[in-house]
Every structure is written in structure tokens, then in C-alpha cells.
Amino acid sequence: MHLDPFELHRPTTVEETVRLAGELAGRFDYLAGGTDLLPNYKMHLNLRPHLIALDRVAELSARTDETWGAMVRLADLERDPLVRGRWPAVADAVAEVATPLVRASGTIGGNLLVETRCFFFNQSEFWRASLGYCLKADGDRCHVVPQTSRCYATFSGDLAPALMVAGAEVEIAGPSGRRRLPLDRLYDVAGDGIHRVTIAPGELLVAVHLPRDERGSPGRYLKLRVRPAFDFPELGVAVSGRWTGDRLDALRLAVGGVDPYPRRFDSLTDPLLGAPLTDERVATLADSVARAVRPVHNTFLLPDYRRRMVAVYVRRAIAEARKGVAA
């Protein structure tokens, strides 16, 4: 597999980047660490003739306690003890992404906007051509659910669910300026494996903002995968909670790795606040989340198994987060 030629652009400010993006609309991709994009390019997946590299945009690599630039490397977060102390689910998730080598290059922005995955998509051009391509690249049908015009490719980033339960917001820059939105609203729950975000094509993710008042809440991110040293999530469950004695004061729960977007389940967790979180309530919550997700047969583990593991991982993640309270 080889990389086809492309023209590389290297802006130095956010404003220059966005202007360039406007000029090249529809003909470029942003290049962050390249650990997801470049392997996809080698497989000839949705190639663009221009790449806008973000490595020289100093603002994107800046990090303060609660504002993390989109180009901050995962390895930098992994090494920082403050991240472990303040956002334990995020620390869990970062340490679980791929391998140390990938984390040394991979960035927060690239992880949040990582391409969705599917058996029939993440294949060489030769492999895909032999089957007749698919909706997500070069084709006109889905091999997973053939009777649909929708793509079911799975969102397989580890960081998003963990940052969602931390209450993170993202800062976006586009032609009409900058804006902030809660991270869970970055993902389009009405979309699919192709149209999976709410920001416009070409908009730039500038930074992630973490709320100060959420610091130190006990949390946990648990990941199901086939090879623990290496693989993308087949399921990722993040939890963050606060308790006063037995009373549950706050609970956030987010799930990735089973649908085309990561999701937070506030409608299921909010009714539990203000009362003790008994084993029975946890079991009911876990079963409700498992019923709400829609895994399909496009990754290594079977959908029924992944769905059953949602309930198991929700129970485990809550139990482990609570241990953090007692500690």
C-alpha cells in the first residue's frame, strides 16, 4: 500500500487555517497526528488532493489546566498526574488508546473526530473492489444492512465517552468565527457512520474545555476489545458520579464503540439522582442502556455479545467509580 501524492499546506494560525479551508472546500482533510487518516489514505479511502497540516498552529498545541488544544498529544495527557487526579475516566481512556507509539503522535482532536470503522470499510482497495465497495467509500450499497441507504460504521474513539462524562465542551472555528458546544452535541445522533458530526465540513476543532467544578469526581472508563495491547474498542463505557454518603448527587454515563456516535444517557441517569443508587437500580439502568444501543455485525465481536457486555460494563464501571469514592 502506498500514499498517493497530495499537496500539503501548513498554516500557522487558526484564522489562516479556516481561510485556507474555505478556499479548498470539499478538496481537503485536516492532518493532525495522521495515525488514522494516513492509514486510511493508504487504503484509498476517500482521498482528497490537499491536506492542511495542523502541527504549526501554535494555539492548537497549547494546554492549560482546563483548556486542551486539539493538537495536544495523547501521550502528554497520559503522562500528566493531574489528569489522573482530576478526570479519572479520561486518564483511563487515554491510556487505553492503541499503543504507546500511536499515542505519541495521536491527538485529542484526531481522536474525537476519528473515522468510523467497519469490516467492509477498513480494507485495502483490492479487497473492497472485489466485493463491490460500499456507501462509505466509492460504492452504492451497504454490506452490513443491504436493504438500507444508511451507513452503520461504528464510532471507535476512546476519548469521547470519557470527556463527555467529564462535562467537556469543544471550541469550533469556522468561517463565521468561533463557538463552543457541549461535546455530546458534536456528534449527530440523527446521523449515521458517514454523517456523524454536527459541525460543518471544514470546521476546525480548536480545543476541549473542561469544567472546573467537575474536577476530582470519581470516574472510570472501561473498554472491551479483543487484543488488550492494541485494538480499537468493541465497546467503551465511561462513568462519572458524586455521592454524599449513600445519596447519589450526580451521575453521567456515556457509551462508545457500539453505535456510529458516542452517546450520553442523561435521560436514564437523571431520574436516579437524590436517592441511594442501589444494586437493583444499577441493574435496571444497565439493562436500559443495553437496550438503547444498536450494535450491528461490522466489527470482530458479535452484536448480541456486545449488547450484553454493555450491561456488564455499565455495572462494573459504576461499581469501580464508587470504589474511588471510598478511597
Ligand X SMILES: Cc1cc2nc3c(=O)[nH]c(=O)nc-3n(C[C@H](O)[C@H](O)[C@H](O)COP(=O)(O)OP(=O)(O)OC[C@H]3O[C@@H](n4cnc5c(N)ncnc54)[C@H](O)[C@@H]3O)c2cc1C
Could you say whether residue 281 binds ligand SF4 (CB under 6 A)? no
Could you say whether residue 254 binds ligand X (CB under 6 A)? no
Nearest to 246, CA basis, from 267, 273, 212: 273
- Among 44, 88, 89, 106, interactor with ligand X by CB under 6 A: 106
* Residue 121 binding partner per list ligand X, ligand SF4, none, with a CB distance cut-off of 5 to 8 Å that depends on partner kind: ligand SF4
How far is it, in rounded angstroms, from Cα 238 to Cα 227? Answer: 20
Shortest separation between residue 183's beta carbon and ligand X, angstroms: 13
* Residue 113 binding partner per list ligand X, ligand SF4, none, with a CB distance cut-off of 5 to 8 Å that depends on partner kind: ligand X
Question: Would you tell me how many other CB atoms lie within 10 Å of the CB of residue 245?
Answer: 8
- Contact between 161 and 237 under an 8 Å Cβ cutoff? The reply is yes
Half-sphere exposure of 268 (CA within 13 A, CB side): 22
The runs of H, that is alpha helices, within the chain are: 14-23, 37-42, 58-61, 74-79, 81-86, 88-96, 100-105, 108-112, 125-131, 159-165, 266-269, 279-292, 303-326
SS3 319: helix
Could you say whether residue 196 binds ligand SF4 (CB under 6 A)? no
- Which is nearer to ligand X, 179 or 323 (by Cβ)? 179
* Residue 110 binding partner per list ligand X, ligand SF4, none, with a CB distance cut-off of 5 to 8 Å that depends on partner kind: ligand X
Shortest separation between residue 294's beta carbon and ligand SF4, angstroms: 12
Shortest separation between residue 97's beta carbon and ligand X, angstroms: 4
SS3 313: helix
Residues that bind ligand X (CB under 6 A): 29-37, 39, 54, 70, 74, 97-98, 102, 105-107, 109-111, 113-115, 157-158, 204-205, 231-232
Residues that bind ligand SF4 (CB under 6 A): 118, 120-121, 134-136, 142-144, 151-153, 193, 298
